[in-house]
Structure 1
Amino acid sequence: MTKQQGQGQTVARKFPIQSVKDLNQMSMEINDTNRELYIDAIKIHIMHGGIMKNLKNVLSNTVVLAYNVDGVQGKAALKNESSFYGVLLDAINLVEGLDQLRTIYERPCSCKKNAILRTPHPWVPISTLLMGSHITT
């Protein structure tokens, strides 16, 4: 195994991102030297079935519920995590081969949020889910 393969496997193990703190940290870790490793790691996680079915392999429910692309409606802006956001868009582009990357990301996030909110969680009251107060940052 080459050094780069080992680094790639280390990066791939960081997914799915479990918390807002983990996303912030990952965004700070991404630089010009390791950017391709992160793109390849995300590609591996979304390759079979695309981003629509595999967003859960990149971002946990907690992160999906805490963010949207522009940071509207009381959510954090994924665009502000510019290093991660750019890597995510590049990986989606390589797998999906489409130019409308923003739409590809927004739709699975919206679908996943709806599914999360429809799924009852025995440890979190439904009123808490709807208000989003169970999300920790």
Structure 2
Amino acid sequence: MIWPVLLTSFPRDSDWAVGERVSARVRWLDASDLPDDVTPEGRLGEAHFMAVLGTSPVTEGVVRRVRLVQDLHDRGTEEWVRRPGETRLIDLPDAGPGGLRDDPQLDEDPDLDSLEIFSPEEYFRLVRDRLPEQQWQARGFLIDLEVSAGG
């Protein structure tokens, strides 16, 4: 049975590569806001998805597919504004930290001698005019996890 597991950050124990056996604590999500065609095999019609959480029993399985979840955002006057329903999935070989990226990427290698830390609001206000009109922002990874019938 294939379960879609939503990871909102990269896994810390390994990169969760396709074909890798992994274990995680998962729970059902009430609303995932993912494209309608993403449904658990054998549970068609249910709008529930899995997410990593530290309080549930451990589930083991084999990673069968890894996709990056990105949401389209418009540049607003004070912050990025997410477009509801505008979500895309991009196939990746693993869920490592290099895969959790926005499009287009905005970061540059910082000059550590002059590095300043800003809140997201301050940063947006300072660089708003240099930001693109739209950006696909990474929300996490959608993992197709093959588990045995018993979980």
Q: If each structure's strand is expressed as a fraction of its own residues, which one has the higher value?
A: 2
- Larger of the two Rg values belongs to structure: 2
Q: TM-score, normalised by structure 1?
A: 0.24
Structure with the larger RCO, 1 or 2 (CA within 8 Å, 6+ apart): 2
Q: If each structure's helix is expressed as a fraction of its own residues, which one has the higher value?
A: 1
